[in-house]
A and B are shown apart, each in its own frame.
Chain A
Amino acid sequence: MTQLLAPGHRMCAGCGDALATKFALKGAGDRCIVVSPTGCIEVSTTPYPESSWNVPWIHSLFDNAGAVAAGIEWGLKKLGKKEDTTVMVIAGDGATFDIGLQAMSGAFERGHDMVYVCVDNEAYMNTGIQRSGATPYDASTTTSPAGKVSFGNPLPKKNMPAIMADHGSPYVATASIAYAKDAIRKVARAAEIEGPAYIQIHAPCCTGWKFDSSKTVEVGRLAVEAGLWPMYEMIDGRIEKAKKIRDRKPVEEYLRMQGRFKHLFTMEGGEEEIARIQAIADWNAEYYEME
């Protein structure tokens, strides 16, 4: 079978975004139309005059993927051609949490039948690792650099799945590139459900998080095992089936693998910061009933 995303794209060796895109396409199947706002996935799959996509694909603006997908969905419906076609957005976290939130909010409010996949690499990677609303507490980025006066990003990660669930979305889920089958199943389920569905896929970025390209899946798995990336599905706003974690790993193991948290192990006061991050994982474990 032809790969829905052909090789030859320019995503970095070991890119988590590439895996998330591959799984999203596997889940949605070949009867889909994809909208991508600007970001690593868009830039590296479509250097003019080439394209890696083997499904219809359109580049929206950075800020209006939700509106473009809504227009496609409406157009197909008016033409009587919607049938089993899935309209799917594949967008970065910057495009989702910050820049495209308004257009996306409108689309979810109106209830368009679409699957919105946020590929969450926890910063604006394509422009060189700037902090976004998805960047976790204490991660060092170029706009939240760790140094004498700072431990990195001072703000907690925004709870985007909850925001989308509160829009009345019938299906919201979190997934990870480290759990391929689960991610593919969730996208397939989202495509089947009528209405605006939201899936946030954790996608470690070796370049921005600073770890070896061979460890993308390992890092992703550790985020889940440490309780920092809860995996769950929400049906009509209610959490269903959060993934159980046996023998939760200390967050330190996850942090230690990545250059973006290196300062926590060298700076004075780093220990207390790690304890704060551990508290986030403990809160997750209790809230999502992981144990």
Chain B
Amino acid sequence: MKVIHAAIVKPGTTLVNKTGGWRTFMPECNYELCNGCGICETYCPDSVIVKDGDRYAPNLDYCKGCGICANVCPKDAITMILEGK
């Protein structure tokens, strides 16, 4: 029997695992209310909120729908909506 004692793998490779499929609720941002503070980006546990120009938006390929971004937003700009799939 071949026993593997240790292995080296490539960095950053969990990107193949698109965790967006875990989601039930999806964050939706009202950019009229958003002031671009970036607090949502700071507290996203999956680091999926990215800055796009002066807007922050979640990468839905990986967003797990936890709802933290909506909870921490000081402007109540983010709402979690049931996602129709």
Contact = CB atoms under 8 A, between A and B. Distances in A.
Interface of A: 2-3, 5-11, 13-16, 18-19, 22, 45-55, 180, 206, 212-218
Contacts of A46: 9
Given A51-B10, A53-B11, 12 more contacts: A5-B47, A7-B47, A8-B17, A8-B18, A11-B45, A11-B46, A15-B45, A48-B9, A49-B7, A50-B16, A53-B12, A217-B68
A34 to B, nearest CB: 11
Contacts of B80: 214
Contact of A13 (B16, B43, B64): B64
Nearest to A8: B14
A18 B14 contact: no
B74 to A, nearest CB: 12
Given A48-B7, A49-B7, A216 B14 contact: no
What class of interface size applies to chain B in its complex with A? 20 to 34
Given A22-B47, A54-B11, A213 B16 contact: no
Contacts of B12: 2-3, 6, 51-54
A9 B14 contact: yes
A53 B12 CA distance: 5
Contacts of B15: 6-8
A49 B14 contact: no
A53 B80 CA distance: 29
Contact of A3 (B19, B23, B47, B64): B47
A179 to B, nearest CB: 10
Nearest to B59: A7
